[in-house]
Amino acid sequence: MLLQIIPASPTKRNGTHALQITYPKSFLKLLLIGFALAMLPLLFAFGNAALYLDRLATQSSDAVTQAVQATRASRALVEQIAFMERSARQYFVLEDELLLENYEKAHEKFVDSWHDLDQLPMTSKQRLALSKLSAEEQALFQNVAQHSTESSSIEEIVGRFADLTVQAQDILDENNRQIDRESAILAETAERTQQIMLWQTLTLIPVALLVALMITFLVAQPIRRMDAAIRKLGEGDYSEPISIDGPGDLRNLGERLDWLRAQLNELDQQKQRFLRNVSHELKTPLTAIREGSELLSDEVGGPLTPQQREIAGILRESSLRLQKMIENLLSFTAAQFHAPQLNLETVDLTGLAEAILADYSLTISNKNINIQRDFFPTLIQADREKIHSVLDNLISNAVKYTSPSSSIRISITHQAHQAIIEVHDGGPGVMASDKAKLFEPFYRGDSAHESLVSGSGLGLSIAKEYVDAHGGEIILLPSERGARFRVTLPLKALTK
């Protein structure tokens, strides 16, 4: 068997018996088998219909042929009897031998017609009447041939012709009635054949559809598994091995996809190790840069000129941004290997937002940005470090993208057991093509701000990870100008 379904051994996963499908070696062969199986009921219906129609056509042809022959022979009997009667009457009057020869010729034609009619299928009643007619006609022929005025009366002989005519006419009428009966039987057979073909069609079409659905399922099942495997690869899920149960060529393709999954998994692990190692390596020299910039800003090495103080401020802001990027990398790599663990404590969102704004006070002052605060005292049970990272990413992006002399609106409120944080900047906003991938790691849209130290594209991704860990939600709201983010957090996060 090229295609069969057999019971498999009990599975370890659920302890139940599964069905194992044995596929052919080629996907093309599976399609051909499916097409053949789907067409088989229809071909059977067509063949059976052709057989019935051929049988009906044969019966019709035979019936028409027999009817024509029977009618023709019966009419010939009646006609020859009439001709023999006329010839006999003339012969008795004129006693001309030529008239007797005409009678004998008519007799021979009568005998030929009788033989033709006798060869046709007929009832026993018809055959008995036909035999009686032949016998009486033969006796009459003998009387006419041996006729003499002394032996028999002319009127008696002529009267016997009238009796033969009545018998021949009865045979003709019986043949006509037999033809009518055959026609009725033929019509009934045609109607019965039509009903049989209709019921066959109504029965076999669902069977063909059922076979087609079964083959469609067998064809679509490995394709759906392959589609699901490719989707997982596209989403970065390399944990589950890929196994495609189908025709041989699709199984080979599934093995190649599993090889690709293993390669991508190895590359992803190498990437994570690289990011983790690089982040740790960069953190040590960055600490020295931060301490040096802080010492310069505090004028530990001596008083600074206004220009030197501005340069020291730039160093301090750049080191802060670089530190934030490295912390994002470390947070991202940690989130990839372990689910975020929450250390819950009471967090004052308004105080936390003010502290973060103070960290960016120099940049805010240099760009002359107006901070519009709409703060309502809000306390939540959350992980302070992670919520700090969420707010820091949103506020730093807002400060980064907001145009000089523009404004940033920050709102913190709570309602219905939820805290709501909104950050609306005065920048160019988010392009429509970037919205779908805005929270994906390492994604930087076309509208990304160019600066001396470019962003890593991890801020919003990490913010979403931390918000999701608290059971909250972060979304981008529609806005006529600038980007408007909303963070919804439960007032009390549930630990998992």
Q: Is residue 13 part of a domain?
A: no
Q: What global pTM score does this model have?
A: 0.44
Other C-beta atoms closer than 10 Å to the C-beta of 50 total 10
310 and 328 housed in the same domain: yes
349 and 453 housed in the same domain: yes
Q: In sequence order, what are the residues at sequence separation of 6 or more whose Cβ sits closer than 8 angstroms to the Cβ of residue 450?
A: none
- d(CA 342, CA 380) in angstroms, rounded, equals 13
Structural contact between residues 363 and 317, judged by C-beta atoms closer than 8 angstroms: yes
Structural contact between residues 407 and 426, judged by C-beta atoms closer than 8 angstroms: yes
Structural contact between residues 84 and 133, judged by C-beta atoms closer than 8 angstroms: no
172 and 312 housed in the same domain: no
pLDDT of residue 143: 77
For 378-394, what is the mean pLDDT? 89
pLDDT of residue 329: 65
148 and 65 housed in the same domain: yes
**Residue carrying the six token digits 């023999």:** 84
**pLDDT at residue 367 is higher than 80:** yes
pLDDT in tens, 278-334: 666 666 677 777 777 777 777 777 787 778 777 777 777 777 767 766 766 666 666
Q: Which domain holds residue 175?
A: 27-211
For 391-418, what is the mean pLDDT? 90
> In which region does residue 236 sit, left (phi positive, over 0), alpha (psi from -120 to 50) or beta (all else)?
left
Q: Is residue 123 part of a domain?
A: yes
Confidence of residue 370 (pLDDT cuts 50, 70, 90): very high
Residue 356: CA count within 13 A, CB half-sphere: 25
Confidence of residue 450 (pLDDT cuts 50, 70, 90): very low
- The CATH number linked to 43 is 1.20.120.1730
pLDDT of residue 275: 66
Bridging pattern class, strands 484-490 and 418-424:
antiparallel
Domain boundary among 164, 192, 211: 211
- d(CA 304, CA 315) in angstroms, rounded, equals 14
Q: Is residue 221 part of a domain?
A: no
Largest Cα span, the chain: 180
| φ, ψ (nearest 5 deg) of residue 112 | -60, -45
Q: Is residue 228 part of a domain?
A: no
Confidence of residue 452 (pLDDT cuts 50, 70, 90): very low
For 21-40, what is the mean pLDDT? 69
348 and 418 housed in the same domain: yes
pLDDT of residue 447: 47
Name the least confident of 51-55, 229-233, 437-441, 467-471: 437-441
Q: Is residue 232 part of a domain?
A: no
Output helix, strand, coil percentages for the chain, rounded to the nearest 5.
Answer: 65, 10, 25
394 and 489 housed in the same domain: yes
Q: Is residue 456 part of a domain?
A: yes
Please report, as a single letter, which amino acid is at residue 210: L
In order of 74, 403, 410, the CA distances from 430 in angstroms are: 102, 14, 18
127 and 275 housed in the same domain: no
The side-by-side arrangement of strands in the sheet containing 370-375 is: 370-375, 407-415, 418-424, 484-490, 473-477
Confidence of residue 15 (pLDDT cuts 50, 70, 90): very low
pLDDT in tens, 133-188: 888 888 878 877 776 544 456 677 777 778 888 887 887 787 788 788 788 888 88
Q: Is residue 1 part of a domain?
A: no
**pLDDT at residue 386 is higher than 80:** yes
The pLDDT > 90 percentage for the chain reads: 10
- The CATH number linked to 308 is 1.10.287.130
Domain boundary among 191, 211, 231: 211
| Rg of the Cα atoms in the chain | 54
151 and 296 housed in the same domain: no
- The CATH number linked to 435 is 3.30.565.10
**pLDDT at residue 471 is higher than 50:** yes
**Number of domains the chain contains:** 3
DSSP 8-state secondary structure symbol assigned to residue 493: P
Q: Is residue 270 part of a domain?
A: yes
DSSP 8-state secondary structure symbol assigned to residue 19: E
368 and 327 housed in the same domain: no
DSSP 8-state secondary structure symbol assigned to residue 492: B
Confidence of residue 114 (pLDDT cuts 50, 70, 90): confident
pLDDT of residue 101: 83
Reading the block at residue 438, the tokens are 């805005």
360 and 472 housed in the same domain: yes
Other C-beta atoms closer than 10 Å to the C-beta of 329 total 20
For 410-420, what is the mean pLDDT? 90
Average pLDDT, the chain: 77
**pLDDT at residue 428 is higher than 50:** yes
In order of 142, 149, 462, the CA distances from 402 in angstroms are: 136, 147, 21
333 and 403 housed in the same domain: no
Domain boundary among 196, 211, 226: 211
Structural contact between residues 222 and 247, judged by C-beta atoms closer than 8 angstroms: yes
pLDDT in tens, 333-349: 665 555 567 788 999 99
**pLDDT at residue 448 is higher than 50:** no
Please report, as a single letter, which amino acid is at residue 466: Y
In order of 164, 220, 438, the CA distances from 234 in angstroms are: 101, 21, 17
173 and 254 housed in the same domain: no
